[in-house]
Amino acid sequence: MKEKSVFIERYENFALKRMKLEKLSGQISNLRLASIITGALLGGLAYYYVGNPLTYMAAGLFLISFFVLVVFHDRIIKKAEVNRRLADINEACEKRKTGDWTFFADQGEEYKDPAHPYINDLDIFGRASLFQWVNTASSYYGREFLKNLLSSPDKDVSKITKRQRAVKELAMKMDFCQELQCCGMAKKDTRNDPEKLLSYAEDKSRLLPVKGLTYLFYILPGITLVSFILYYFSDLLIHIPLAGFLVQIIINVIGSWKIGRMVDNLYASKRKIEGYLKMLQAVEKEHFDDEYLRGLKAELFRNNKAASEQIKVLDNILGALSFRSNPIVYFIINNLFFWDFHCVLALERWKKISGSSLRNWLYIIGTYEALCSLALTAQLDPGWCFPEFVEDGLVITAVDMGHPLINDKERVVNDIALDDQICIVTGSNMSGKTTLLRTIGVNLVLAYAGAAVCAKEFTCSILDIFTSMRINDDLNSGISTFYAELLRIKTIIEYSKKKQPMLFLIDEVFRGTNSRDRVTGAKNVLMNLNKGWIMGLISTHDFELCDFEKDDSRIFNLHFTETYTDGEIKFDYKLREGRCKTANAKYLMKMVGIEIADQ
């Protein structure tokens, strides 16, 4: 019997807890109904018929029990929801392993950039992308930080290894990583850009330029309230309290021009704040051994007060604005007590103490989220390795390297060894050439981010990655496929003149032109890129390019091949030394039902 994966076990555990909690929730709901009905009946019985103090007491106890059950029921519902989200998280992790993850909603589509050196060709963002597969961040800065790690990698080995050590520790803290993700999932609003909130928090200007004006918000409501009381208990004319109330309405109307939109924006941020609060609490209670993780956590305890406590104050102030959702109550409360003004003044006091720290707190939350996303690479498959880095020379060596986005059952692994070399990869159609190039590129992206890579062993230099694979024409600009590829390769050659260590991955070079021009062009590209600071792989169907191996020790050949059994073509996707000696176009045409014309 096949052993269950850790994610299936966790999914079943959380799903069972959720089911028990939902059953308990239903029972409590019935008790709530019974207690309120019983309390109401006993109260009515005591009032109309019995009049016994014990009956009144019993009715009161049932009503009290109703309110206690309401509070308890709310907690049970929240616990059930937490377990639902945790079950969903582990179900998603298992789907990442089985390959059933391309429907995940967050694809990072907005981060795609056709002009970027590699992100489109390597499927870093968009549907069926690395970002879609690995991302567990829900906050704006978490997604942004992960995006930057995957698209703008560090060139400083010390920074990469520092991040790698943090990711290694987080990989061992699955409970924490999933709790942080669960907290983020609770409030979807955290994904939106918090810049409006941050701009307010960092704004140094005062709401009221004259400090003494704030006393009016205490004095006027006091006078108006006392006059209403005097009207009720004495012969004071109603006109006096009404006049005071009218004055306050006028002040509120005038003040709304200054604070109305600001209050609306801040109240709309409450859901964001609730999400940030839960994530901060999760980080603050966790113990970390890694120096980088400890340093990030320490930033949350400046001024001898936890960031979550300071965010909680902000959350409570924004919660006080909830009267705005009830227009009638809001009209009375706001105009009688200057409620919005008092809330804004409380926000101003909070801003003075904590406002300048808010952006840093959100950065820290985002950093933890991004690092937890990278830690998922090691959690999904403990057999993956954390790469080693070589600071001198041009090196990429790997043992049992596979493509991270291909599921375990279908993935074929290969060894690769590039040492200051250029590799020409040949092979028939569908044999695995393009996948090899993407496998190397994607694993390098993961390595530079600080994640585990899909290999048993992996060593690499720090290289700028450039690709030319997925070439599209542009009818609006009058650019053909061939010309688009020329422009792409020109970009690679132009960058190479900076003499920075770089890697090029060129697939099916110059596929958009005839074979003669293709060979001539490919040879020219190889001559331009055959420099001491450049390493790369170029796939081709043109075997003439394989002859470069004879003339230059930096250039060597690798190939894929296929076999034929009972008229069927089979690929093993295993990389072999030397040049390819087979072609399969006719067989593939037969496979799809195209008749082969007699020659």
- Sites in the chain below the pLDDT cut of 70: 1-2, 50-51, 187-190, 207-213, 236-237, 473-479, 512-514, 567, 582-599
Query: Quick one: pLDDT at residue 508?
Result: 86
pLDDT at position 334: 80
> What pLDDT shows up at residue 337?
82
Residue 284 makes CB contacts below 8 A (sequence gap 6+) with 297, 300, 301, 306, 307, 308
CA distance 349 to 75: 32
215-228 per-residue burial string, b: 16 or more CB within 10 A, e: under 16: eebeebbeebeebb
Q: Structural domain boundaries of the chain?
A: 6-98, 112-186+370-380, 193-358, 388-591
Q: Burial-class residue 325 by CB neighbours within 10 Å (0-12, 13-18, 19+).
A: exposed
* Cβ contact 129:123 at 8 Å: yes
Residue 46 DSSP code: I
Residues with Cβ within 8 Å of 77's Cβ and at least 6 positions away in sequence, in order, are: 25
pLDDT of residue 441: 98
Q: Residue 50: what pLDDT? A: 66
Sequence-ordered alpha helix ranges (H) in 285-357 = 291-298, 307-320, 327-337, 339-354
Query: How far is CA 493 from its chain centroid?
Result: 34
Residue of 533, 541, 490 whose CA lies nearest to 513: 541
Q: In one letter, which amino acid is 560?
A: F
Question: Rounded to an integer, what distance in angstroms lies between the CA atom of residue 234 and that of residue 248?
Answer: 23
User: Is the distance from CB of 440 to CB of 505 less than 8 angstroms?
Assistant: yes
Tokens of 593: 């039902």
CA pair distance 543, 360, nearest whole angstrom: 56
CA dihedral (545, 551, 554, 556) in degrees, to 10, reads 40
Please list, residue by residue across 514-544, b when 16 or more beta carbons sit within 10 angstroms of its beta carbon and e when fewer do: eeeebbebbbebbebbeeeebbbbbbbbbbe
Q: In angstroms, rounded to a whole number, what is the distance separating the alpha carbons of residues 98 and 96? A: 6
Distance of CA 200 to the CA centre of its chain: 25
pLDDT at residue 593, as a whole number: 56
Q: Tell me which amino acid residue 302 is.
A: R
Residues forming a β-bridge with 388: 459
For residue 561, what pLDDT is reported?
86
Number of CB atoms found within 10 A of residue 553's CB: 9
d(CA 500, CA 197): 41
Per residue in 416-467, pLDDT (tens digit) is 999 999 999 998 878 889 999 999 999 999 999 999 999 999 999 999 999 9
Tokens 């940030």 identify what position? 276
**Rounded distance, CA 451 to CA 384, Å?**
10
Instruction: Dig out the tokens for 187 from the structure.
Output: 């409030």
Please give the CATH superfamily to which domain 388-591 belongs. P-loop containing nucleotide triphosphate hydrolases (3.40.50.300)
Spatial contact of 372 and 170, defined as CB atoms under 8 Å apart: yes
**Token pair of 398, please?**
């790997």
User: Using an 8 Å Cβ cutoff, are 111 and 332 in contact?
Assistant: no
Close Cβ partners of 285 (under 8 Å, ≥ 6 residues apart): none
Q: What are the pLDDT digits (tens) for 333-370?
A: 888 888 888 888 888 899 999 999 999 999 999 999 99
